[in-house]
Amino acid sequence: MLSPELGRLGFRIAIFVTLASGALLPAQRPGSAEFVLMATALAIGLVFLLIMIALIRWSLRRECS
């Protein structure tokens, strides 16, 4: 269902967003707009990463069956 190239691309984007926002979050002052933006980006990155992992696993399971 999910092509390998699309799965790899989505996984790389999710990893990049999660790691970049996670690395920059400690450098922001709590309560500032930048802190809220980085925390939101981190949450979105983690959710996207979980979705991509689930889609890749589901796609691999359907191919093996």
What are the extents of the domains in the chain? Answer: 4-64
Could you read off the pLDDT of 24-37 as tens digits, one per residue?
999 999 999 999 99
Could you read off the pLDDT of 34-48 as tens digits, one per residue?
999 999 999 999 999
Helices (H), the chain: 4-24, 33-64
Provide the pLDDT for residue 32: 96
The answer to whether residue 2 scores a pLDDT higher than 80 is no
The answer to whether residue 8 scores a pLDDT higher than 80 is yes
CA separation for the pair 5, 59 (Å, rounded): 12
Provide the pLDDT for residue 62: 83
Provide the pLDDT for residue 63: 80
